[in-house]
Structure formats: structure tokens, C-alpha cells
């Protein structure tokens, strides 16, 4: 177990370093920098431009900038936002709180809807119910998240006379307002993920229910409840765990669109506004953080495998 | 500090000189930020929806229009850029200029407090404008003050600006776009710029309470504001809205009280909603097509003229903003009456395809040519405008390939004077020198983004800045506009009306032509 963990951590560190390098180089490959953004169409004095470039350290050689950033990053210091002046770590923590809440709510809602639907469709394979659920899956998977979000927003206003608040409040400050803000974004994302879940679980159930040990269980006269939940669902759990990890990563990726659509100050919008303003410390720090999260989730899933399935333990 | 006093004779001359000054008014506080409303009552909170958010709130070093919109409520310059083109004294009480036009004396308003609690003196004014004009401090507004040689504070309530060359537009330059009066020594802290995201240190009617990026800016009434009884509102929240649809929904649900729409047609569904008011305001902005005079076929003025003669501006305006605006020639709509040349007097304004074809043939392009036409991602109006113009140019054989670029990339190309053939969307404070000088004066005095490098234009722009006599200024800028229309380094297409939608509880809000939120200083909330 310790060897496996060490090996996994080693490859994770290598991936993190390569990602850091890629993020750094990509940001600088994009034309335009913060100096142009600050001066716009007005500031035309070359000495002003040079002064600002020196202020942000952009006049230094690229490798010196990278090594400086990497050195500080290794000590946990991601620098400060060039616009806000705040520590990037604090900005990421604040934004990630919003994103994580959105992701976990979405994961919970989509799991609660998608897994039972998938099981039901698998058990009732070939029936009208199965067709109905598969139709939902198809629609859910095909509808773009931003379109669903926009339709929910306009629909809630037109038919219910209700609109979500647009100024974000933390759950701790105002739980009611926070949940009202989260409602439509969570539904928008959860429809897609529930459909994906349902489709995946249905396939697993159909395969599982055709296997010999299930036939044996039926022959033994076990109740359907025991067959589905004790024997079938248990075997579905391993691939489902992997899938949950993938879904979580996918949700974290998908929140960029939904955060922009509903004015949520999460990680996606932090990265997007940082990119637009060429706020290198923010974008580099936040993207690196996202990469580390993805690596972390994959690592966790690998370890969970070992916990769920003893055969995978060394 | 240099001890400078003005003698009686000089004051007399200054008095005579100021009589000749074009667009400068003495203090009339009732007209600042818009007319007062006798029915106004104190108190109340309002929320303003905005599609754009300032990256930061530093008025000295952030050029973003989204910053200026809100920071004008917290920070003040010496003058206010009245929509009419008058520079109204704000922190100054008036202005006196020496007979040679090289010394401007500004008596200051007394009893003005900063948000920090300190009292404003001439030392603060000198400090602030010295900081602004020093290019090493990286302000986009530094270039506008290049004619200032020295600033003196002879006594606590007077500042004197000494110029190296006359500048009739100086009061309009000392308004609220860039810089402001802040406490002396504020910038000694190297993190002062970013500190402005946490506290405001200006003299404006509102002060910053909080700024949460990607979410909201909250301002509260400044209790010690120098204009007694103002402002009326206790609190303003600027909420960052994701898109126009959400803004419309939020207005209908009364979650926001005011929104300025960038695409006028988005307000159409709101026109008949009870409790909402949709209003149109003239704009000081322009939607234009810029032509880099160093770029391929555009190097030839005949080609640029041919392009101008092929474009039907009205059709472009209808396609991109559903007609909610004014077709312009060489002046933004908000200044057309005062400074503009009537469109029928300007060359190359009416579609004439035969002449366009002839000009192209003379320039060596009888079969037209292919060219990239750049639009900026996020500027919704540009895409339909680009399609329309591409279609119009096709009639004379010019094949335009539409290329969409991200704003940061576009700014980089623009600043590097590598703009090619591109759409632009920009505004001005209401003075022709501030509108034209930076963009069209040859380097190094101007930026000449379009590589026009026209000596006659530069001479006219220099002269227009120096001359105080209104009639003479008008003549100079008329001549300049004729030249602009003949040479076509830019094609000003139209000024889009500013469209505001407000709930009926928000009263007396007037939208300034710049698009900035000055009007909130005079607005009030009905119970």
C-alpha cells in the first residue's frame, strides 16, 4: 500500500510540475499583458509603459520569472493579484468555497436522481419506463448547460414570477439567500450529470443482472430487494466510484460556464476574469490549484478502489 | 513649494481672458452631476446591475471604462465634465488664466473633506496632479497633462498650473476620467493602488464600503460630503450581472433598480412592463471602423475613400443596434450640435459605388482585394455590423474576412499601432481636443494609433489646443473634421443611444453621455 501510494504521489508531483510549466508558458503565449489592459487606448507614453512593466517584473527574463514563481509556489506563496493586491491563496480559498459548494450540491443532487433512475431503467430494461428514462438521459446529455441555465432563469421569471438573487451571499452569512442563489445553477448542472449517471448505471445494471451469480441468487429464491441491492448494486459500486470521481472533475470544469451565467464568484470566474485582465499570478495559481485538485481526486479514487475491492490491495 | 502670487494687473488680464474662454462655467453647485430635484428625499438603498466589472478601483492607473463608471462617485477632480461641453468647477471654485495662456489659477473649494477625514488643501491637489502627470507612475492620463510644466500651491486654497504651451482644454482635462484629488503622500505606500480596492480616499459623495470581485461593489453615503444635503441615497450596490437576459429578469423582479444596456434592442421587452421606465440618452461614445494607414491596401487614401463610399452607415446601425442611435460623420452625437460639421457638408459620407470602383481602379485594385476585418469578442454589436459591412464592401469587389479577437489581444495590436482594419468602440469627455488629440496627433505628442502621420492634421490639433476663442476653435476643428473625412483614417459609423431601465422608485436619475454613473449623486429613492 505504501509503495503504491509513493508511486502515485511521485507521478502526481511530476504531473503538477509539468502543469505549472505549461500554465506559465501558456499565459505568456497569449498576446497582450496587464500593462496594455491598464493603459487601454489612453496611456501612450512609452516611459509609463516601461515603468509599469518593471513594476510587475515583466521586464525580467522569462526563466527568471518562472523560477521565482515556482520557488515561491513551493513554499505555498502564490503571490498577490496584480489588480486586487490580495494574496492569491486567499482569493482561491474564497472562490473555491463557492465552487466546492456548487460541485458538492450538484454531485449530491445528480447522484440522488441519476443512480436510482439508472437502476430502475436497468431493472426494467426494455419497458416503457426504460424508454422514458433513456429519453431523459439523451435530452440531459445533449442540452448545453448554458442553454439549460438560461432557460431556467427566464422560465422561472416568466412562469413563476421569481428570479434568483444575483449578489452572492455565503451560506454562513445568509443560508436562505445562499440556497436561493444556488438553486438554478445546481439544477442546470445536475440535469446533465444525472443523465450521465443514469446512463452509466443502467448499462452496469443490465450487464450485472445477466451474470451467473444473479441467476443463482434468483434460483435460490432471494427477494428482489436482496438481489438488486445486496448482489447487483455492490458490484456496480466500484466502477461507480471511478465515475463519481470523473463526474466531480467534470463538474469542476463545467462550473466556469455556470458561474458566469449566474454571477457566482467561484473559481471558474476567478480564472476567467484573471485571464481577461492578464492577471498572471491569479491565473497561474488558480489553474495550478485546479490541476492539483484533479490529481488529488484521481489519487483518492485509486485509493478508494483498494478500500472497496480488497483484491486490488498489494 | 514655490511662492507664487498673482498681481492685480495679471488678475485683471485673467478676468478678461476668462471671458473669452469657451466652455468654462463658474461654480453653480446645483448643476453638478445633473439638475437637483426639489422633491428629493434622503435615504434608501438602490442596486444597479452592470454587465461589466472594474478590474480594480484605482482612478490613477486603471484605464478601464468599467472603473471610471463607478469611481466618479468616490473620486473628484477639479472640474466636472458637464454633458453640454462645459467644464463646471467641482473641487475648484473657478479658473483664471494669464493673458499668455500659460498660467492657470484655480481657487479651491474650502471645507472639503477626504473620506479619510482629513481636510483638502492645495498641497493635496498639487501632489495628486503631480503624481498623475509623471509618466513613471504609469497613469493612462499622464499624456493629457503633457503641457503642464509645473504645479504650484501658493496658499492652502489656491493652485496654479504653469504650462509649457497654452491648453484651452485644461479644465476639461482636470475632470474625472483619470486621477483625482487624494491626500498628499498617499502613494508613498507601494501597495496604494490595490489599497483603493478596500478603502476610498477621495472627496466624492459616496465612499467604498466593500468590493467583492465577480460579485458586487457597495458604496455608502459620505456623511461629510462638502455639498450640504447631498447625496440623497444612503447606499448603492453595483451587482455584476452575467448577461442582458439576467439583467432584464432582475429588473422585472425588482432585484435591481437601474441598468444601462449595451444593446438597446434588449430593452424592447421591458418597455411595457409596469413599474419600469425605459429611457434613451444621447451618447458621447462612437462605434467606428478604424483603418491602419500602414496596412496593405489601406496605405492608399483612395482605397480608404472607396471603403467609406461603399458603407451605408444607417443600414449598419439598424443591423447592429436596431436603429437605436444616431448616424455620425466626424463627431460623436452628444457633441455634434456644438462642435460637429453637418454630415451633408462632409466628403465621403454618402454611398457612391461608382466613384468607389473608380477610386479602387485608380489605386490599382480594379478587381478589389481581400482584407481581414477585425471584431472584438464580447462586443455583440460588432458581429452583425461586420456581416453587413462585408456585404456592402463585396459590391465594389472588396472581400472582407471577419476575424474575431479577444479584447486583450486587440488592445495589444491597437497600442502597437498594428490594428489593421478593425471595429472600435470608444468614448470621450466633451471637448474636441480630448476627443481627437491623442488619437490623431502624430507622435510623439499624440499616439496616432492609425499611423495617419498627417502634418496638417497635427498642426490643426496643436492650434485647437492652444486657442481659447470659441469661434476660432470651432473653425479649427471644422477644418480638421473636413480633413478627417477626406483622408479617412477612421470611419465613425454611429453613436448608440445609452438606454437605461430603472424601477419607478429610483427618481431623478440622469444618464451622463459618457456612460458613467454621475447621475446617482443626484438620484433618490421613493419609499
Would the CB atoms of A166 and B239 count as touching at under 8 Å? yes
Q: Which of residues 107-136 of A touch B (CB under 8 A)?
A: none
Listed in sequence order, the DSSP H helices in B311-440 are: 313-321, 333-339, 353-362, 382-394, 407-415, 432-440
What is the distance between the alpha carbons of residues B33 and B73, in angstroms, rounded to a whole number? 10
Q: Which whole number is the average pLDDT over B125-137?
A: 95
Nearest to A40 among B64, B142, B439 (CB): B64
The b/e string for B70-101 (b: 16+ C-beta within 10 A; e otherwise) is: bbbbbbbbbbbbbbebbbbbbbbbbbbbbeeb
Long-range contacts of A15-20 (CB under 8 A, 24+ apart): A15/A291, A15/A295, A16/A288, A16/A291, A16/A292, A16/A295, A19/A287, A19/A288, A19/A291, A20/A70, A20/A73, A20/A284, A20/A288, A20/A291
pLDDT for the residue A48:
81
Segment A144-154, tens digit of pLDDT: 888 999 899 88
pLDDT in the model for residue A293: 85
- pLDDT score of B16 more than 70: no
Cβ contact B87:B81 at 8 Å: yes
Which ranges constitute the DSSP H helices of B137-184?
170-173
Partners of residue A40 in chain B, C-beta under 8 Å: 63-64, 140, 411
What is the structure's pLDDT at A297? 79
Return d(Cα B316, Cα B314) in angstroms, integer: 5
Indicate if the pLDDT at residue B12 is higher than 60.
Answer: no
Angle, helix B407-415 to helix A267-277, in steps of 10 degrees? 10
Give the mutation candidate from B61, B214, B286, B437 for the A interface (greatest A CB count, under 10 A): B214
Check: CB of residue B175 under 8 Å from CB of residue B77: yes
Give percent above pLDDT 70 in chain B: 95
Higher pLDDT, A232 or B411: B411
Contact B144, B161 (CB under 8 A): no
Residue ranges with strand state E in B185-299: 206-212, 216-221, 235-240, 258-261, 276-281, 285-291
How many other CB atoms sit within 10 Å of the CB of residue A93?
A: 11
B377 vs A: CB within 8 A: no
- Among chain B residues, the shortest Cα distance to A258 is held by B242
**Residue B371 above 50 pLDDT?**
yes
Confidence band, pLDDT 50/70/90 cuts, at residue B13: very low
Q: What is the per-residue pLDDT for A187?
A: 94
Taking the CA of residue B164 and the nearest CA in chain A, the distance in Å comes to 18
Q: Is B236 on the interface with A (CB under 8 A)?
A: no
Dihedral, B56, B62, B187, A284 alpha carbons, nearest 10: 60
pLDDT at A229: 79
Give the pLDDT of residue A47: 79
Cα of A35 to nearest chain B Cα, Å: 9
CA atoms within 13 A on the CB side of A224: 4
C-alpha distances out from residue B323 to A231, B282, B289, Å: 68, 13, 18
Q: Can you give the pLDDT at residue A314? A: 56
Please determine, for residue B7, whether its predicted confidence score (pLDDT) is greater than 50.
no
H/E segment holding residue B67:
helix B65-71
User: Are B432 and B339 within 8 A, CB to CB?
Assistant: yes
- pLDDT tier at B26 (50, 70, 90 boundaries)? low
Q: Sheet containing B421-427: give its strands across.
A: B325-327, B490-496, B285-291, B421-427, B370-376, B399-405
Give the model confidence (pLDDT) of B60-94 as tens digits. 999 889 999 999 999 999 999 998 888 999 999 99
| Digit-coded pLDDT (tens) for A288-306 | 998 888 888 778 877 777 7
**3-state per-residue secondary structure call for chain A:** CHHHHHHHHHHHHHHHHHHHHHHHHHHHHCCCCHHHHHHCCCCCCHHHHHHHHHHCCCCCCHHHHHHHHHHHHHCCCCCECCCCCCEHHHHHHHHHHHHHHHHHHHHHHHHHHHHHHHHHHHHCCCCHHHHHHHHHHHHHHHCCHHHHHHHHHHHHHHHHCCCCCCCCCCCCCCHHHHHHHHHHHHHHHHHHHHHHHHHHHHHHHHHHHCCHHHHHHHHCCCCHHHHHHHHHHHHHHHHHHHHHHHHHHHHHHHHHHHHHHCCCCCHHHHHHHHHHHCCHHHHHHHHHHHHHHHHHHHHHHHHHHHHHCHHHCC
CA-CA distance, B55 to B71, in Å (whole number)?
12
Residue B241, chain A, CB below 8 Å: the answer is yes
* φ, ψ (nearest 5 deg) of residue B53: -130, 140
Q: Which regions of chain A are under pLDDT 50?
A: none
List, for residues B425-477, the tens digit of each pLDDT value. Answer: 998 999 999 999 999 999 888 889 999 999 999 999 999 999 988 899 999 99
Please, which residues have CB within 8 angstroms of residue B332's CB and are 6 or more apart in sequence?
A: B283, B284, B285, B286, B427, B428, B435, B492, B495
Pair type for strands B399-405 and B370-376: parallel
Predicted pLDDT at B25: 56
pLDDT for residue A23: 87
CA distances from A82 to A28, A60, A283, B194, B422 (A): 15, 16, 11, 8, 29
- B216 interfaces chain A, CB cutoff of 8 Å: yes
Distance from CA of B301 to the nearest CA of A (A): 24
Separation between Cα atoms, residue B278 and residue B273, nearest integer Å = 9
Contact A83 B55 (CB under 8 A): yes
- Write down the pLDDT at residue B27: 58
ipTM over 0.90 threshold: no
Record: contact B438-A42, CB cut-off 8 A: yes
For residues B189-217, one letter each, b for 16 or more C-beta atoms within 10 angstroms of the residue's C-beta and e for the rest, the string is eeebbbbbbeebbbbbbbbbeebebbbbb
Kindly state the cell numbers that stand for A291: 490541476
What pTM was computed for the model? 0.85
- Average pLDDT of every residue of chain B: 91
Is B9's pLDDT higher than 50? Answer: no
Amino acid at each position: 500500500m505504501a509503495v503504491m501510494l509513493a508511486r502515485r504521489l511521485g507521478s502526481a508531483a511530476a504531473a503538477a510540475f509539468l502543469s505549472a510549466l505549461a500554465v506559465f508558458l501558456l499565459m505568456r503565449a497569449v498576446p497582450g499583458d496587464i500593462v496594455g489592459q491598464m493603459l487601454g487606448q489612453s496611456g501612450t507614453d512609452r516611459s509609463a509603459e516601461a515603468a509599469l512593466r518593471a513594476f510587475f517584473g515583466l521586464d525580467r527574463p522569462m526563466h527568471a520569472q518562472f523560477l521565482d514563481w515556482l520557488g515561491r509556489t513551493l513554499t505555498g506563496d502564490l503571490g498577490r493579484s496584480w489588480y486586487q493586491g490580495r494574496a492569491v491563496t486567499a482569493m482561491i480559498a474564497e472562490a473555491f468555497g463557492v465552487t466546492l459548494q456548487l460541485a458538492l450540491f450538484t454531485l449530491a443532487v445528480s447522484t440522488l436522481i441519476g443512480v436510482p433512475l439508472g437502476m430502475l431503467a436497468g431493472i426494467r430494461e426494455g419497458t416503457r419506463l426504460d424508454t422514458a428514462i433513456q429519453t431523459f438521459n439523451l435530452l440531459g446529455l445533449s442540452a448545453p448547460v448554458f442553454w439549460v441555465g438560461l432557460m431556467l432563469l427566464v422560465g422561472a421569471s416568466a412562469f413563476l414570477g421569481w428570479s434568483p438573487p444575483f449578489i452572492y451571499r455565503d451560506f454562513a452569512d445568509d443560508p436562505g439567500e445562499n440556497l436561493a442563489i444556488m438553486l438554478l445553477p445546481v439544477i442546470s448542472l445536475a440535469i446533465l450529470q444525472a443523465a450521465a449517471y443514469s446512463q452509466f448505471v443502467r448499462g452496469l445494471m443490465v450487464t450485472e443482472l445477466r451474470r451467473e451469480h444473479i441467476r443463482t441468487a434468483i434460483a435460490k429464491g432471494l427477494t428482489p430487494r436482496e438481489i438488486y441491492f445486496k448482489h447487483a448494486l455492490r458490484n456496480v459500486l466500484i466502477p461507480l466510484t471511478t465515475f463519481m470521481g470523473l463526474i466531480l472533475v467534470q463538474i469542476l470544469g463545467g462550473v466556469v460556464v455556470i458561474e458566469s451565467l449566474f454571477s457566482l464568484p467561484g473559481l471558474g470566474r476567478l480564472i476567467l476574469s484573471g485571464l481577461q485582465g492578464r492577471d498572471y499570478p491569479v491565473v497561474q495559481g488558480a489553474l495550478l490549484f485546479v490541476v492539483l485538485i484533479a490529481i488529488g481526486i484521481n489519487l483518492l479514487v485509486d485509493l478508494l478502489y483498494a478500500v472497496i475491492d480488497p483484491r486490488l490491495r498489494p | 513649494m514655490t511662492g507664487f502670487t498673482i498681481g492685480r494687473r495679471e488678475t485683471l488680464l485673467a478676468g478678461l481672458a476668462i471671458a473669452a474662454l469657451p466652455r468654462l462655467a463658474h461654480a453653480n453647485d446645483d448643476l453638478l452631476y445633473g439638475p437637483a430635484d426639489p422633491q428629493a428625499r434622503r435615504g434608501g438603498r438602490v442596486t444597479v446591475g452592470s454587465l461589466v466589472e472594474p478590474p480594480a478601483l484605482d482612478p490613477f492607473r486603471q484605464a478601464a471604462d468599467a472603473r471610471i463608471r463607478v469611481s466618479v462617485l468616490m473620486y473628484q477632480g477639479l472640474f466636472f465634465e458637464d454633458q453640454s461641453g462645459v467644464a463646471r468647477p467641482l473641487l475648484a471654485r473657478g479658473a483664471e488664466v494669464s493673458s499668455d495662456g500659460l498660467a492657470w489659477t484655480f481657487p479651491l473649494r474650502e471645507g472639503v473633506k477626504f473620506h479619510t477625514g482629513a481636510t483638502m488643501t492645495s498641497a493635496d491637489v498639487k501632489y495628486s496632479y503631480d503624481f498623475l502627470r509623471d509618466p513613471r507612475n504609469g497613469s493612462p492620463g499622464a499624456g493629457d497633462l503633457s503641457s503642464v510644466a509645473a504645479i504650484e500651491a501658493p496658499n492652502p486654497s489656491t493652485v496654479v498650473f504653469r504650462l509649457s504651451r497654452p491648453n484651452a482644454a485644461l479644465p476639461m482635462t482636470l475632470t474625472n476620467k483619470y486621477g483625482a484629488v487624494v491626500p498628499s503622500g498617499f502613494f508613498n505606500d507601494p501597495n496604494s493602488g490595490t489599497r483603493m480596492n478596500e478603502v476610498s480616499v477621495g472627496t466624492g459623495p459616496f465612499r467604498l464600503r466593500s468590493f467583492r470581485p465577480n460579485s458586487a461593489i457597495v458604496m455608502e453615503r459620505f456623511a461629510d460630503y462638502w455639498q450640504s444635503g447631498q447625496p440623497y441615497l444612503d447606499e448603492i450596490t453595483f451587482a455584476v450581472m452575467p448577461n442582458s437576459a439576467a439583467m432584464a429578469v432582475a429588473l422585472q423582479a425588482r432585484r435591481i433598480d437601474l441598468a444601462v444596456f449595451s444593446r438597446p434592442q434588449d430593452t424592447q421587452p421591458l418597455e411595457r412592463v409596469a413599474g419600469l421606465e425605459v429611457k434613451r440618452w444621447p451618447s458621447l461614445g462612437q462605434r467606428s471602423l478604424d483603418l491602419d494607414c500602414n496596412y496593405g491596401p489601406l496605405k492608399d487614401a483612395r482605397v480608404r475613400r472607396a471603403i467609406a463610399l461603399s458603407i451605408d452607415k444607417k443600414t449598419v446601425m439598424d443591423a447592429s443596434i436596431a436603429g437605436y442611435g444616431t448616424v455620425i460623420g466626424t463627431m460623436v452625437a452628444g457633441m455634434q450640435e456644438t462642435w460637429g460639421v453637418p454630415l451633408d457638408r462632409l466628403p465621403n459620407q454618402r454611398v457612391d459605388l461608382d466613384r468607389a470602383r473608380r477610386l479602387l481602379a485608380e489605386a490599382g485594385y480594379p478587381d478589389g482585394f481581400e482584407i481581414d476585418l477585425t471584431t472584438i469578442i464580447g462586443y455583440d454589436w460588432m458581429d452583425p455590423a461586420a456581416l453587413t459591412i462585408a456585404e456592402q464592401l463585396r459590391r465594389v469587389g472588396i472581400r472582407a474576412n471577419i476575424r474575431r479577437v479577444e479584447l486583450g489581444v486587440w488592445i495589444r495590436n491597437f497600442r502597437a499601432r498594428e490594428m489593421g482594419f478593425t471595429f472600435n468602440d470608444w468614448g470621450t469627455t466633451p471637448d474636441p481636443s480630448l476627443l481627437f488629440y491623442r488619437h490623431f496627433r502624430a507622435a510623439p505628442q499624440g499616439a496616432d494609433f492609425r499611423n495617419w502621420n498627417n502634418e496638417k492634421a497635427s498642426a490643426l490639433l496643436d492650434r485647437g489646443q492652444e486657442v481659447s476663442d470659441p469661434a476660432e476653435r470651432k473653425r479649427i476643428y471644422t477644418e480638421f473634421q473636413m480633413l478627417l473625412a477626406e483622408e479617412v483614417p477612421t470611419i465613425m459609423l454611429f453613436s448608440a443611444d445609452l438606454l437605461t431601465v430603472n424601477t419607478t422608485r429610483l427618481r431623478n436619475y440622469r444618464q451622463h453621455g459618457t456612460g458613467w454613473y454621475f447621475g446617482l449623486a443626484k438620484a433618490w429613492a421613493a419609499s
